[in-house]
Amino acid sequence: MSVALGTTRPLPVRTTPIGDPGNLLASLPRTPAPYAWIRHGEGLVGWGEAARVNVPAGPGRFAWARRWLGDLFGDARMDTYLDGPAGTPGVGPVAFGSFTFDENAAGSVLVVPQAVLARRSGHAWLTTIGDARLEPLTPIRDPGRISYGDGSLSAPEWEHVVAQAARRIRDGELEKVVLARDLLATAERPIDVRLLLSRLAQRYPECYTFSVAGFVGATPELLIRRTGQEIESLVLAGTTPRGSGPEDDVARGAALFASAKDRHEHECAIASVRETLAPLCSSLQTPDEPELLMLPNVQHLASHVTGRLADGASVLDVVAAMHPTAAVGGTPTDTAIKVIRELEGMDRAGYAGPVGWIDAHGDGEWGIALRSGIVRGRRARLFAGGGIMGDSDPASELAEAQAKFRVMQYALEG
């Protein structure tokens, strides 16, 4: 654990209401790893580090993280906290976080930025810790030409893994498993994360554009949002590429909605979320039928789940209960995780893990880190994947993963 500022706790926190700051991402200074959570222009951006911790791996990591945050935020000196829009999630000190997909893998991190600029529901505010202030802006530099290379597995090798997984499903070992693959990108010049964030937020406004400690992406899947006792989740499972035009889009969407394979995959995901959230909630609503969510590159079967917490659990408690969902792991989940570890041939790091933010009241928003990549200097490691069923075709699954890679390829290339 590290606490920055050259000082010890308690953290001196100041939240000040401000006028509309305009494009939040345009206010980010050039840093190796800015922080962001943006959808439709609203959300939070941050820079600097007031505190940072590498969360120990293991089954108790979310509880450990909550205790660490409780100690840190409980000691914070929030003398001017109520100067902001009181009761609005994200007012006061905020921690951005990314947790690895596999609970046994190292790499989960929580960071409390020195400065957070936010806008939500007609309010805007700036939270600073210590002597943090707005940094001078510098021009965003294009990374230049991008070249790509195989990640952990080549395309034919990954197709072979998909075939193995489908056979194990047909043999009755499990119902579904989600397999991921990676792609390596190298740029001529260092990659400015601000450029990726700007492109992602503009091209995919329906998604949650995020950046946490060099892990960048735009995910369409909201794992959980907690506002007081109210919670919301968006479940995505079942995917088809966009068509060549409006008529093709409609036809592909209709085929996706009618696909027995994709509907079963979606039903598995909804059942997993319902089973997980029911014990935590005094009320829970799940739709009878999914809807179609159309993004610039793909269409998904989507279902909104809402509920009310029974016992005042923190958003991290709900994240702990929900992750991994069937949508990113498989069914049964324990068996699917075992198959992923045996077949996938790579460390997912934060891909398909929880990513988001939490405030001092336990409110926050956490997504599933899809359509993402890890940026380090001139290099980026991109991730994509899809749900495998017994009748999955390896070539089709490869094409779906390649379609999902295009999100981050667009961010890099424009």
- The residues that are catalytic are 176, 221
Q: Are 334 and 369 in contact (CB under 8 A)?
A: no
- Nearest-5° angle of CA 317, CA 344, CA 174? 70
DSSP tally for the chain: helices H, then strands E: 8, 23
Residue (of 80, 194, 178) closest to 137 by Cα position? 194
Neighbouring C-beta atoms of residue 414, cutoff 10 Å: 13
Residue (of 212, 232, 235, 154) closest to 350 by Cα position? 212
| Backbone φ, ψ for residue 176 (5° rounding) | -155, 145
For residue 219, the Cα-to-chain-centroid distance in whole angstroms is 5
Tokens of 175: 């119902």
The single-letter code of the amino acid at 185 is A
Query: Rounded distance, CA 373 to CA 358, Å?
Result: 22
Tell me the three state secondary structure of residue 394: helix
